[in-house]
């Protein structure tokens, strides 16, 4: 393996051969329990039953390390939103940002949404999560992650983070997980190393400072910002934070120690190749791949002083009910209650709304937490998750709603064994026992305790048959039902 792009870091690395060996090994996978619908012991049990050997991460509750070669993003339990797959080092920024239920969080560079969903789940889906992303093509996967995990407290913005107007508001916590050269990701994406062989290190640092400055501008006095990259380059890391501190009013910002018990890390650099960053930068965190058998990462935690003056105070946010077209939820809650036994009380904090499709009003409904607060501007691209298809004789829950709320169902659950489950997933008809279902209508397909999607039952040739309605995009992800 040609490690010449990393030669410049040799003086920073305590054990070069251990570093080189780590880069040559495949990266262990990490998953965390979606505690909106399963507790960590429940996930551990499920993974064990599916033949996946999972060991708890010592430093992050609810997360598990899997052996290299596991394919956790390809299982039915993944599609059903029981867990999320995320690189171990990528868990660090939210662990240090530490958002609490009911708070507000702005994620400036959000796609594909790993940290957005991690934060929203940690916040118990209560409060406000605003996920901004500049690249339109990356927003689809962000939306799918929010829907798959059943996150109803988030909205998506499509804007350049560096140029967000003050109307976006102020937040308790802001994440600046900025685009970078991705040097630390070569174990996961070997092609990154080939690109690095052709480019100049730290070449992207200009835009990163502008995004970090915006993060500081949009956090409330007393609030916290996390700046992170998956790069080793001091130009993208300490130099950016040092430039921020240098340009800030004295006493308005301070670095908090970025350390995590159970995770080995190195302090940030106070100087590099003749440039001085200052002693404060030692409070930042560097994670080298060979220390914890991970990728590489950099994180700095910055607190804005409670006395800092807001030069560009935001405007008060809007209530979600001012922005979306609220509809009477009763017909839809009745379907969930009467057909599936999903209690209405589950939706007390939610609002059901009609989704706009261009200028036409579509028959699709969304669901969102009523206490989500939205920016004055820019207008959100999406809020909440898809809930129902309403423009039809029998309103139909969306697949996202089926997996998000289906684990509260008590009736009309179709338990599928390993043989029949793929027929359901691919929409092939299955004969079912009349005694198990209350006649024709919608059913929820369940496999090993996980609701995997909606289906419909009808009579055909004197028998009851069911057909799954799992979206093709979901079905095509699955290649494993476990042994
Ligand atoms: C490191 S990735 C973010 C990863 C994400 N936080 C996660 O955990 O899944 C950086 C993201 O920033 C986006 N981006 C780049 N420049 C941006 C800008 N000026 N404003 C907002 N997003 C930007 C990129 O398209 C990319 O999706």
Q: 366: which 2 tokens?
A: 């969304």
328: part of which helix (H) or strand (E)?
Answer: none
**Predicted local confidence at residue 53, as pLDDT:** 85
Q: How far is the CA of 440 from the centre of ligand 1 (A)?
A: 46
**Predicted local confidence at residue 473, as pLDDT:** 83
Beta strand 171-177 pairing with 219-229: parallel
**Predicted local confidence at residue 483, as pLDDT:** 46
Q: What is residue 425's three-state secondary structure? A: helix
The active-site residue out of 109, 182, 230, 457 is 230
Q: How far apart are CA 256 and CA 411, in angstroms?
A: 51
Angle at 118 between CA 117 and CA 121, to 5 degrees: 80
Instruction: Determine if ligand 1 sits within 6 Å of the CB of residue 187.
Output: no
* The model's pTM: 0.96
Q: Please state the atom number of ligand 1 nearest to the C-alpha of residue 115.
A: 8
Instruction: Determine if ligand 1 sits within 6 Å of the CB of residue 134.
Output: yes
Q: Please state the atom number of ligand 1 nearest to the C-alpha of residue 210.
A: 19
Strands (E), 310-469: 318-319, 325-326, 350-357, 360-369, 373-374, 382-383, 385-389, 396-397, 413-415, 430-432, 441-447, 450-460, 463-468
**Predicted local confidence at residue 194, as pLDDT:** 86
Q: How far is the CA of 131 from the centre of ligand 1 (A)?
A: 10
pLDDT one-digit tens code per residue, 152-194: 999 999 999 999 999 999 999 999 999 999 999 999 888 898 8
Q: Where do the domains of the chain lie, and which CATH numbers do they carry?
A: 28-86 (3.30.70.1170), 412-475 (2.30.130.10)
Instruction: Determine if ligand 1 sits within 6 Å of the CB of residue 138.
Output: yes
Q: Which residues of the chain have pLDDT under 50?
A: 483
Alpha helices, H only, 152-282: 191-196, 205-218, 238-247
**Predicted local confidence at residue 357, as pLDDT:** 63
Q: 475: which 2 tokens?
A: 């079905």
Pick the closest to residue 180 from 172, 162, 192, 191 (CA basis): 192
Nearest CA to ligand 1 atom 2: 179
Q: 86: which 2 tokens?
A: 């995320």
For residue 475, report the phi and psi dihedrals to the nearest 5 degrees: -60, -40
Count of C-beta atoms within a 10 Å radius of residue 250: 6
How many residues in the chain? 483
Q: How far is the CA of 378 from the centre of ligand 1 (A)?
A: 17
Residue 390 contacts residue 328 (beta carbons within 8 Å) = no
**Predicted local confidence at residue 251, as pLDDT:** 94
**Predicted local confidence at residue 202, as pLDDT:** 63
Instruction: Write the CB contacts of 247 (distance below 8 Å, at least 6 apart in sequence).
Output: 213
CA dihedral of 100, 106, 108, 112, whole degrees rounded to 10: 60
Residue 299 contacts residue 159 (beta carbons within 8 Å) = no
Please indicate whether residue 230 is annotated as part of the active site: yes
């Amino acid at each position: 393996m040609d490690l010449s792009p990393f030669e410049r870091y040799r003086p920073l690395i305590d054990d070069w051969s251990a570093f080189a060996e780590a880069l040559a090994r495949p990266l262990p996978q990490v998953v965390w329990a979606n505690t909106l619908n399963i507790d960590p012991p429940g996930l551990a049990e499920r993974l064990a039953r599916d033949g996946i050997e999972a060991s708890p991460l010592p430093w992050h509750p609810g997360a598990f390390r899997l052996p290299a070669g596991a394919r956790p993003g390809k299982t039915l339990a993944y599609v059903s939103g029981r867990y999320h797959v995320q690189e171990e080092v990528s868990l660090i920024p939210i662990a240090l940002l530490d958002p609490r239920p009911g708070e507000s969080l702005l994620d400036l560079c959000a796609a594909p949404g790993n940290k957005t969903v991690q934060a929203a789940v940690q916040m118990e889906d209560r409060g406000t999560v605003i996920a901004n992303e500049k690249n339109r093509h990356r927003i689809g996967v962000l939306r799918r992650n929010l829907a798959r995990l059943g996150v109803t407290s988030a909205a998506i913005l499509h804007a350049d983070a560096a140029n967000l107007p003050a109307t976006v508001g102020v937040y308790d916590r802001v994440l600046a997980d900025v685009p970078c050269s991705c040097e630390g990701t070569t174990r996961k994406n070997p092609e990154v190393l080939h690109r690095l062989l052709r480019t100049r290190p730290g070449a992207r640092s200009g835009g990163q400072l502008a995004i970090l400055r915006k993060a500081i501008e949009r956090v409330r006095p007393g609030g916290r910002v996390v700046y992170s990259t998956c790069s080793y380059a001091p130009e993208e890391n300490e130099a950016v934070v040092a430039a921020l501190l240098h340009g800030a009013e004295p006493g308005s910002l301070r670095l908090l120690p970025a350390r995590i018990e159970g995770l080995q890390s190195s302090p940030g650099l106070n100087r590099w190749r003749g440039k001085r960053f200052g002693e404060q930068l030692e409070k930042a965190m560097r994670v080298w791949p060979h220390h914890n058998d991970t990728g590489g990462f950099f994180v700095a935690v910055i607190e804005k002083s409670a006395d800092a003056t807001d030069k560009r105070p935001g405007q008060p946010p809007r209530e979600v009910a001012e922005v979306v077209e609220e509809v009477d939820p009763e017909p839809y809650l009745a379907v969930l209650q009467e057909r599936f036994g999903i209690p209405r009380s589950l939706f007390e904090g939610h609002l059901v709304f009609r989704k706009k499709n261009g200028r036409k009003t579509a028959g699709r409904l969304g669901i969102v937490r009523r206490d989500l607060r939205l920016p004055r501007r820019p207008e959100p691209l999406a809020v909440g998750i898809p809930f129902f298809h309403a423009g039809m004789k029998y309103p139909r829950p969306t697949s996202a709603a089926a997996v998000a709320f289906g684990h509260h169902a008590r009736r009309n659950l179709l338990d599928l064994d390993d043989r029949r489950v793929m027929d359901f997933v691919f929409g092939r008809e299955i004969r079912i026992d009349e005694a198990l279902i209350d006649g024709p209508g919608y059913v929820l397909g369940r496999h090993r305790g996980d609701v995997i999607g909606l289906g419909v039952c009808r009579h055909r040739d004197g028998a009851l048959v069911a057909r799954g309605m799992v979206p093709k995009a979901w079905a095509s992800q699955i290649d494993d039902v476990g042994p």
